[in-house]
Amino acid sequence: MRQKIRMGMAGGGPGAFIGAVHRMAAQLDGQIELVCGVFGRDPEKSRRFAEELYLEPERGYADIDAMISGELALPPEKRMQFVSVCTPNHCHFPIAKALLEAGFHVLCEKPLAMDSAEAAALEQLVKVTGKQFCLMHNYTGFPMIRQARSLIAAGELGTIRKVNVEYSLGWLASPNAGKQAAWRVDPKQSGISGCMADIGTHAQNLIEFVTGLKIDAVSAELASFVPGRLLDDDGSVLLRFDSGARGVIFASEVATGEENNFILKIYGDKAALEWHEQDPENLILRSNDAPIRILRRGWPGTGEAAALNSRLPAGHPEGFIEAFANIYRMFAEAVRSDRPGDYPSVADGVAEMRFIEAVVANSNGNEKWTKIER
């Protein structure tokens, strides 16, 4: 008899925006059941939050070690099978490492670690343990992003020449942006980068996911506009790809008035495409010798890749949570079948850490271009 995949959580406690998103998304398709978690640093708060989520109170654990030992003491048919890691960046590596070593599958928020050495160590551990690992880059779960990737793979755009990405937010424009913002500009919790690690990695990952190209070198300028801020809150990065294509990432968390303005533009020698996260149902296609086309999710003209990641008919919008849910659905099947799914992997996590390090090194140094290690 098929059973739901049992999930634990690390982080995502009271007031955590992304934790609530993960819980809703994980359970959207009825494939996954949340059974336990460490929902904060305070043991009593973790226990109380477990009760609020209608879990057994004793499965609201005090810390990761307690969750691992507590779950391993349960019968196999009751214990968690994987853990969703939704903590600040500095906790990703030690938590994922402990879970893999204990025999659990892991789904982890980005970025993978605090540096590429940690990321590479985690990649090796995934190979040794044979456990399933997913890096949560939710934008790869949007149906029209899957459509874009299939069009490029089929040669509809021809040879890719240029990729432009803008990701603009305004939520860090003020020095007092709240608790959820504070850790993102703290080097001890976020790492060597703020804005570029937080949202620039989404751009880097999405570019490589959709195009299949690899970023070979970067030329970057990072800035901290808010006085006293120790990490970047804005950045621009020129890109060179292994194919000879060029690109640019403009990422800012101090773009006053912007909500979540994430725009992907890809130009080939035959055609171009454009996608906006704030209007995710549409994929715009352009060329020099035909009218502009707009492909709509759920409408004739889109293919199997988009259909497999859609739930509702056209005109009933799907968006942010559903994109997360698509990744969770694929990961549930990976845990069930013990075969990796079509989602960002631990290797992608290593690539993004090397991208961040190259960007920071270039911004701080005197070289015109910094090559990314592969």
* pLDDT score of 228 more than 80: yes
Query: Quick check: is 324 in a domain?
Result: no
How does pLDDT run across 131-157, given as a tens digit for each residue? Answer: 999 999 999 999 999 999 999 999 999
* Helices 92-101 + 64-72 axis angle, to 10: 20
Task: Kindly compute the dihedral angle of the four CA atoms of residues 322, 21, 77, 131, in this order, to the nearest 10 degrees.
Answer: 80
| Claim to verify: residue 121 and residue 146 sit in the same structural domain | no
In a domain, 374, yes or no: no
What is the residue-averaged pLDDT of the chain? 96
DSSP string, 5-32: EEEEEEE--TT-HHHHHHHHHHHTTSSE
Instruction: Tell me the H-state helices in the chain.
Output: 17-27, 43-52, 64-72, 92-101, 116-129, 143-153, 179-182, 187-190, 195, 201-211, 304-307, 320-337, 346-364
Domain assignment of residue 303, yes or no: yes
pLDDT on residue 178: 73
317 to 55, 156, 173, 277, 321: CA distances (angstroms): 31, 26, 30, 12, 11
Closest CA to 136 of 99, 87, 183: 87
Q: How many residues does the chain have?
A: 374
Number of domains in the chain: 2
Instruction: Kindly state whether residues 293 and 249 are assigned to the same domain.
Output: yes
Any domain includes 198: yes
Are residues 200 and 217 both part of a single domain? yes
Residue 217 falls inside a structural domain:
yes
In tens, the pLDDT along 9-62 reads: 999 999 888 999 999 999 999 999 999 999 999 999 999 999 999 999 999 999
**What is the reported pLDDT for 181?**
76
Would you say the C-alpha torsion 323, 329, 332, 336 has a positive or negative sign?
negative
317, part of any domain: no
Model confidence over 353-369: pLDDT tens digits? 999 999 999 999 999 99
Domain that holds residue 262: 141-312+353-363
Structure tokens at 205: 């990952």
Instruction: Please tell me the predicted confidence (pLDDT) of residue 182.
Output: 80
CB 9 within 8 A of CB 22: yes
Residues 21 and 112 placed together within one structural domain of the fold = yes
Digit-coded pLDDT (tens) for 313-342:
999 999 999 999 999 999 999 999 999 999
Please say if the pLDDT value at position 177 is more than 80: no
Contacts of 250 (CB under 8 A, 6+ apart): 165, 166, 167, 168, 235, 236
Q: Are residues 115 and 261 in the same domain?
A: no
* pLDDT number for residue 53: 97
pLDDT category at 240 given cuts 50, 70, 90 is very high
Q: What is the mean pLDDT of the segment spanning 115-141? A: 98
Q: Under a CB-based contact definition with an 8 Å cutoff, are residues 158 and 269 in contact?
A: yes
Q: Are residues 171 and 184 in the same domain?
A: yes
Give a yes or no: residue 371 inside a domain.
no
Asked whether residue 192 falls in the same domain as residue 240, the answer is: yes
Contacts of 74 (CB under 8 A, 6+ apart): none
- 24 shares a domain with 165: no
Band of residue 1 on the pLDDT scale cut at 50, 70, 90: low
- What pLDDT is recorded for position 184? 87
**Are 119 and 350 contacting, i.e. CB atoms less than 8 angstroms apart?**
yes
Answer yes or no: do 187 and 122 share one domain: no
Shared-domain flag, residues 294 and 161: yes
Same domain as 169, residue 128: no
The tens digit of pLDDT for each residue in 69-94 reads: 999 999 999 999 999 999 999 999 99
The gap from C-alpha 310 to its chain's centroid, in whole angstroms, comes to 19
What's the CATH code of the domain at 245?
3.30.360.10
Residue 329 maps to a domain? no
* Beta-bridge partner residues of 100: none
Query: What CATH number did the domain enclosing 49 receive?
Result: 3.40.50.720
CA 121 to CA 246: how far, in whole Å?
31
DSSP codes joined into one string, 301-369: TB-HHHHTT--S-TTS---HHHHHHHHHHHHHHHHHHTS--SS--HHHHHHHHHHHHHHHHHHHSS-S-
CA–CA dist 275, 53 (Å, integer): 36
Q: Are residues 166 and 117 in the same domain?
A: no
Residue 341: what pLDDT?
97
pLDDT digits 0-9 by tens, 203-216 = 999 999 999 999 99
Q: What is the pLDDT of residue 16?
A: 87
Separation of alpha carbons 186 and 117, rounded Å: 20
